């Protein structure tokens, strides 16, 4: 009986083991695949904080190969600095893992500036979970780390933005305040004409403040896609000439040339098109501090009207040509600070053009200057 069933029972058992084994293998493979393909770097350490595994993302973030680091002590491999104090923390004494273990913690978290490769620096968030045997004996640790460099960059951009925006807002506010104090000064004894002149300056500064705030609000509205178009037939030449009239006599260093056929029309929102064209013109002026020609042209191409504004100014470094249309993106001009702004203008311009179904891009001109071109379907 027993002997009779033995082979089949054995076979059964064998199959079961095989099944189980293949299941385990499969599970291990998927786990490995998951680990390998995870965007987060994962490494495991033994109780002496010697690295025992290192996934692909970890290799990518740090630039080291698993085979170079496995078997080494974590703090001998990593060179990390505390983000705030700038102090080196990957030493046996300063190691945040040791310190957490000394305190008997189950997990810990840390933000490090990691030196990887030659001068490549990354901002990395480490999340560590300790493995314990019982309540107090550490058997190892699993550390998940995430490259936060892009986030850090954004954060830096944000603080830079706050400083430029606050400069843009505080400047007109300062002059408003000074003019008003001037009028209120106990020794003040101005003729009516002078008072009017001063009040006119106050009013101009208030307008500037209003424009700046308006731009910021507009940008946030545009960002949440709340742009409504009021389409009308617009004559491009008339629109451009109208805008240029407001610059008459104000920019002696620049010459305006307009090359637009008189009857070129588009279907567009007047107010928004005015914003687009006048912003491109004001940028062209602002970024050509030595003056030169500002050329504005428009022509019909199939299905579109193509409009451009071209200057002879400082031009745009190639790697910024696309990015300047991003919100708050400005070309770093720390060594030639000739123009301040908040980096919202082109973002709004692009949104307007795209809402009209058109495209916008920037080009550098051989020699000097740049050209901004946009299309509007006709």
Partner 1 sequence: MIVEDDESVRKSLKMYLELEGFKVMEALNGREAMDKVMTSRPDIIVTDIMMPEMDGFQFYLLLKDQPEIRDIPVIVLTAKGSTDDIRCASLMGVDEYITKPLDPENLVSKIKEMLA
Q: Provide the minimum distance between the beta carbon of 160 and ligand ATP in the complex, in angstroms, as a whole number.
A: 12
Q: Report DSSP letters for 327-346, one per residue.
A: TT-----TTS------S-HH
Q: Provide the minimum distance between the beta carbon of 162 and partner 1 in the complex, in angstroms, as a whole number.
A: 7
Q: Residue 36 belongs to what H/E stretch?
A: helix 2-37
Q: If binding is defined by CB under 8 A, does position 338 make contact with partner 1?
A: yes
Report the residue from 246, 336, 366, 367 that binds partner 1 according to the rule CB under 8 A: 336
Whose Cβ is closer to ligand ATP: residue 74's or residue 346's?
346
Q: If binding is defined by CB under 6 A, does position 311 make contact with ligand ATP?
A: yes
| Cα radius of gyration rounded to whole Å, the chain | 32
Q: If binding is defined by CB under 8 A, does position 346 make contact with partner 1?
A: no
Report the residue from 41, 80, 172, 341 that binds ligand ATP according to the rule CB under 6 A: 341
Q: What does the binding site for Mg ion look like in residue numbers (CB under 5 A)?
A: 283, 341, 345
Q: If binding is defined by CB under 6 A, does position 284 make contact with ligand ATP?
A: yes
Q: Residue 27 belongs to what H/E stretch?
A: helix 2-37
Report the residue from 114, 176, 316, 353 that binds ligand ATP according to the rule CB under 6 A: 316
Whose Cβ is closer to partner 1: residue 28's or residue 170's?
170
> What whole-number distance in Å separates Cα of residue 99 and Cα of residue 89?
11
Q: If binding is defined by CB under 8 A, does position 85 make contact with partner 1?
A: no
Report the residue from 64, 96, 287, 374 that binds ligand ATP according to the rule CB under 6 A: 287
Q: If binding is defined by CB under 6 A, does position 331 make contact with ligand ATP?
A: yes
Compute how many other C-beta atoms are within 10 angstroms of the C-beta atom of residue 183: 13
> What whole-number distance in Å separates Cα of residue 68 and Cα of residue 50?
12
Report the residue from 162, 195, 213, 231 that binds partner 1 according to the rule CB under 8 A: 162
Q: Residue 374 belongs to what H/E stretch?
A: strand 370-377
Whose Cβ is closer to ligand ATP: residue 110's or residue 347's?
347
Q: If binding is defined by CB under 8 A, does position 339 make contact with partner 1?
A: yes
Q: What angle do CA 273, 233, 299 make, to 5 degrees?
A: 70
Whose Cβ is closer to ligand ATP: residue 49's or residue 346's?
346
Per-residue burial over 293-328, b if 16 or more Cβ lie within 10 Å, else e, is ebbbbbeeeeebbbbbbbbbbbbbeeebbeebbebb
Whose Cβ is closer to Mg ion: residue 276's or residue 305's?
276
Q: If binding is defined by CB under 6 A, does position 283 make contact with ligand ATP?
A: yes
Q: If binding is defined by CB under 6 A, does position 343 make contact with ligand ATP?
A: yes
> What whole-number distance in Å separates Cα of residue 96 and Cα of residue 172?
48
Whose Cβ is closer to partner 1: residue 175's or residue 241's?
175
Helix axes 192-223, 345-355, angle to 10 degrees: 50
Give the residues across from 300 on adjacent strands.
Answer: 305
> What whole-number distance in Å separates Cα of residue 108 and Cα of residue 128?
5
Whose Cβ is closer to ligand ATP: residue 179's or residue 347's?
347
Question: How many distinct helices (H) and strands (E) make up the chain?
Answer: 10, 13
Whose Cβ is closer to ligand ATP: residue 55's or residue 370's?
370
> What whole-number distance in Å separates Cα of residue 110 and Cα of residue 223?
33
311: partner contacted, choices Mg ion, partner 1, ligand ATP, none (Cβ within 5-8 A by kind): ligand ATP
Q: Interface residues with partner 1 (CB under 8 A)?
A: 159, 162-163, 166-167, 170-179, 181-182, 185, 187-188, 198, 201, 204-205, 289, 336-340
What does the binding site for ligand ATP look like in residue numbers (CB under 6 A)? Answer: 283-284, 287, 311, 313-316, 324, 330-331, 341-347, 370
């Amino acid at each position: 009986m027993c002997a009779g069933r033995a082979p089949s029972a054995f076979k059964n058992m064998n199959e079961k083991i095989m099944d189980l084994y293949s299941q385990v293998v499969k599970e291990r493979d998927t786990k490995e695949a998951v680990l390998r393909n995870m965007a987060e770097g994962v490494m495991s350490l033994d109780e002496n904080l010697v690295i025992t595994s290192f996934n692909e993302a970890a290799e990518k973030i740090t630039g080291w190969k698993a085979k170079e680091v496995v078997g080494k002590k974590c703090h001998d491999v990593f060179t990390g600095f505390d983000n705030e104090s700038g102090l080196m923390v990957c030493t046996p004494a300063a190691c945040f893992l040791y310190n957490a273990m000394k305190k008997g913690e189950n997990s810990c978290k840390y933000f490090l500036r990691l030196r990887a490769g030659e001068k490549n620096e990354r901002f990395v968030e480490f999340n560590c979970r300790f493995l314990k045997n019982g309540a107090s004996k550490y058997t190892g640790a699993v550390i998940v780390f995430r490259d936060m460099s892009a986030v850090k960059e954004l954060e830096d951009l944000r603080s830079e933005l706050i400083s430029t925006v606050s400069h843009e807002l505080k400047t007109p506010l300062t002059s408003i305040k000074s003019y008003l104090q001037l009028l209120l000064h106990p020794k003040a004894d101005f003729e009516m004409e002078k008072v009017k002149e001063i009040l006119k300056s106050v009013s101009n500064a208030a307008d500037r403040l209003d424009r700046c705030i308006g731009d910021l609000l507009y940008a946030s509205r545009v960002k949440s896609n709340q742009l409504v178009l009021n389409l009308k037939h617009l004559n491009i030449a008339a629109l451009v000439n109208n805008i240029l009239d407001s610059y008459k006599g104000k920019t002696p260093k620049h010459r305006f040339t307009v090359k637009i056929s008189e009857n070129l029309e588009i279907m567009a929102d007047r107010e928004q098109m005015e914003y687009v064209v006048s912003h491109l013109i004001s940028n062209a002026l602002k970024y050509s501090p030595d003056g030169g020609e500002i050329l504005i042209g428009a022509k019909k191409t199939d299905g579109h009207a193509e409009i451009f504004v071209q200057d002879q100014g400082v031009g745009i470094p190639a790697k910024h040509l696309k990015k300047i249309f991003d919100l708050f993106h400005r070309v770093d001009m720390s060594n030639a600070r000739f123009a301040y702004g908040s980096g919202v203008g082109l973002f709004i311009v692009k949104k307007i053009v795209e809402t009209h179904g058109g495209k916008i891009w920037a080009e550098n001109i051989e020699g000097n200057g740049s050209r901004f071109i946009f299309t509007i379907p006709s």
